[in-house]
Structure 1
C-alpha cells in the first residue's frame, strides 16, 4: 500500500489495530488535520490515546509505525491485543 491514505482509510485501519478493544477516532474541528485516537476497553474506560498528524496518517509506513508504537505501549501496560498487521 504505497498510495497516500485518506482519513477514512486511516480510521478503519486504526480501528482494526486495537482489537479486541474499541478505537474511537476523530479529527478535531480546529482544522489542523490531526487525527485523535482513543482506545477504550469493554467498560468504556480510556486505556490509551494518540495524536497523529495528517502527514503521518496519510503515509501508510508512518501510520503503521505509530500504530505499532501505540500497540506496544498498551501491551507494556498489560493489555492483550489481537495480532495485527498493516493491510497492503
Structure 2
C-alpha cells in the first residue's frame, strides 16, 4: 500500500488497530489537518490518545508506525489488544 490514504481509509485502519476497544477519531474544526484518536474501553473510559498530523495519516508507512507505537503504549499499560497488521 504505497498510495496516499484518504482520511476515511485512515479512520477505518485506526479503528481496527485497537480492537477489542473502540477507537474514536475526528479532525478538529480548526482545519490544521490533524487527526485525533481516542481509544475507549468497554466502560467508556479513555485509555489512550494520539494526535496524528495529516502528513502521517496519509502515508501508510507513517500511519502504521504511529498506530504500532500507540498499541505498544497500551500494551505496556496492561491492555490486551487483538493481533493486528496494516492492510496491504
Same fold (TM over 0.5): yes
Structure 1 residue 33 displacement after superposition: 0.1
Structure 1 residue 7 displacement after superposition: 0.2
TM-score of the pair, normalised by structure 1:
1.00
| Structure 2 counterpart of 1:85 | 85
| Structure 1 counterpart of 2:6 | 6
Q: What CA distance in whole angstroms lies between the structure 1 residues aligned with 2:45 and 2:58?
A: 28
TM-score of the pair, normalised by structure 2:
1.00
Q: How many residues align?
A: 88
User: What root-mean-square deviation, in Å, do the aligned CA atoms of Structure 1 and Structure 2 show?
Assistant: 0.1
Following TM superposition, the consecutive aligned residue runs of length 4 or more in structure 1 with deviations greater than 6 angstroms are none
| Structure 2 counterpart of 1:44 | 44
| Structure 2 counterpart of 1:21 | 21
